């Protein structure tokens, strides 16, 4: 017997949008673990030092790997050089984009804003639309019909996930959006979360992005070499795989339509190198619950909250041992999801079962 698979409407202008609003899931109040105001204030303190240090190292690795790639171009030695360059350029820029977008990476506002613009370009996300998209993601995390950043809608598109490791599905879609923005237009979903006063910036920035890409492509054609594109453009494809490996751990396979980040986000312990590349976003439950806490204090925040949290995953492998089977199962059984075990001491949370 063939089982009909019901597909939910993940668009931001469809029937699930109205349903989420009717069920009180839009702009809702979320569960928050208890922490003293005094301690939270200590953890929220902003500093420039850690992010300046990390950013200098980041650009140094980018420049060194890029220079070595240039010097070894035409030999096999260029492969590891550009492998490093690509991951730093495209994957690690995701976390820089994220932290500076929240303006928590640095204490100094302009430093956040400069890094945000650079990292947005590198991760192939237009800075203004994605700031608003991410704002909505924090308002309505994994609420179907409201959250524009649900990475694995159900039933999962396995081919799409595979293609995303090299951005073969996402980058072309982003490019189409960019071109649309150049002509002064948004898509219907963007119209729901980008305010009118921000839209001229969207169109201006899209034109700047397109001009930069056009210049690099022209340069590559002029010198009959793809080398310029190895630095700008192609890294968004060949270097994005680590971003996907990190990023899928955030929410994949967890509950939809709940008002408790402990049920729809993962905290995954990672080694210091991964935590550097990911800027501590592995503490993802903590980040969603208290987005004012800068990345360099998330480990301490985790210590404060862990008694009221589900058990963290002991590494990427532990997370994927859960994510891979549940994703495969959701292909045939889209209503299935991982129910995170909350500590027995906590009171029940406002949550609703998926429709």
Q: Which residues bind other proteins (CB under 8 A)?
A: 27, 37, 41, 44, 46, 102-104, 109, 128, 131-132, 135, 138-139, 195, 197-198, 290-292
Nearer to other proteins by C-beta: 102 or 154?
102
Q: What tokens appear for 221 in the block?
A: 């054609």
The backbone torsions φ and ψ at residue 130, rounded to the nearest 5 degrees and listed phi first, read -75, -25
Q: What tokens appear for 130 in the block?
A: 């994605």
**Closest approach of other proteins to the CB of residue 138, in Å:** 6
Asked whether 270 and 315 are in contact (CB, 8 A), the reply is: yes
Nearer to other proteins by C-beta: 24 or 198?
198
Q: Write the Ramachandran bin of 47: left for phi over 0, alpha for psi from -120 to 50, otherwise beta.
A: beta
Query: In the chain, how long is the greatest CA-to-CA distance?
Result: 67
SS3 assignment, position 338 = strand
Nearer to other proteins by C-beta: 132 or 203?
132
CA distance readout (Å), 160 to 86, 123, 189, 263, 267: 21, 18, 20, 25, 24
**Closest approach of other proteins to the CB of residue 104, in Å:** 7
DSSP-assigned letters across all residues of 73-128: TTSTTHHHHHHHHHIIIIIHHHHHHHHHHTT-S-SSHHHHHHHHHHHHHHTT--HH
Nearer to other proteins by C-beta: 70 or 132?
132
Instruction: Report DSSP state, residue 345.
Output: T
Q: What tokens appear for 325 in the block?
A: 């089977």
Nearer to other proteins by C-beta: 49 or 172?
49
Nearer to other proteins by C-beta: 104 or 267?
104
Contacts of 307 (CB under 8 A, 6+ apart): 343, 345
**Any idea which residue has 């995701």 for tokens?**
94
**Closest approach of other proteins to the CB of residue 197, in Å:** 6
Q: What tokens appear for 6 in the block?
A: 């019901």
Nearer to other proteins by C-beta: 69 or 101?
101
Nearer to other proteins by C-beta: 30 or 320?
30
Chain CA centroid to CA 221, Å: 33
**Closest approach of other proteins to the CB of residue 124, in Å:** 20
CA distance readout (Å), 146 to 149, 176, 239, 295: 9, 22, 30, 26
Nearer to other proteins by C-beta: 65 or 250?
250
Instruction: Report DSSP state, residue 280.
Output: T
Asked whether 92 and 115 are in contact (CB, 8 A), the reply is: no
């Amino acid at each position: 017997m063939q089982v009909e698979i019901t597909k939910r409407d993940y668009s931001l202008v469809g029937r699930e949008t109205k349903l989420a609003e009717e069920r009180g899931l839009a702009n809702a109040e979320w569960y928050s673990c208890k922490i003293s105001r005094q301690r939270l204030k200590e953890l929220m303190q902003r500093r420039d030092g850690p992010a300046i240090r990390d950013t200098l190292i980041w650009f140094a690795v980018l420049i060194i790997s890029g220079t070595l790639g240039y010097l070894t171009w035409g030999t096999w030695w260029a492969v590891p050089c550009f492998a490093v360059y690509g991951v730093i350029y495209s994957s690690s820029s995701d976390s820089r984009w994220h932290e500076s977008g929240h303006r928590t990476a640095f204490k100094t506002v302009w430093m956040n804003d400069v890094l945000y613009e650079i990292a947005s370009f590198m991760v192939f996300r237009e800075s203004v639309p994605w700031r608003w998209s991410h704002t909505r993601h924090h308002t309505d995390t994994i609420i179907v019909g409201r959250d524009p950043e649900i990475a694995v809608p159900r039933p999962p598109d396995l081919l799409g996930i595979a293609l995303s490791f090299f951005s073969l599905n996402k980058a072309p879609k982003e490019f189409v959006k960019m071109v649309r923005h150049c002509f002064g237009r948004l898509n219907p979903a963007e119209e729901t979360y980008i305010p009118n006063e921000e839209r001229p910036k969207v169109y201006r920035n899209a034109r700047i992005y397109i001009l930069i890409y056009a210049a690099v492509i022209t340069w590559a054609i002029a010198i009959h070499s793809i080398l310029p594109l190895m630095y700008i453009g192609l890294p968004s494809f060949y270097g994005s795989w680590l971003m996907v490996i990190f990023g899928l751990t955030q929410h994949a396979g967890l509950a939809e339509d709940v008002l408790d980040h402990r049920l729809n986000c993962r905290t995954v312990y990672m080694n210091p190198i991964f935590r550097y590349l990911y800027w501590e976003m592995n503490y993802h439950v903590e980040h969603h619950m208290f987005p004012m806490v800068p990345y360099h204090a998330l480990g301490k925040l985790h210590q404060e909250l862990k008694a009221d949290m589900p058990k963290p995953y002991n590494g990427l492998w532990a997370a994927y041992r859960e994510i891979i089977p549940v994703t495969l199962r959701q292909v045939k059984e889209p209503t299935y999801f991982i129910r995170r075990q909350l500590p027995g001491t906590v009171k029940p949370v406002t949550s609703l079962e998926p429709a």
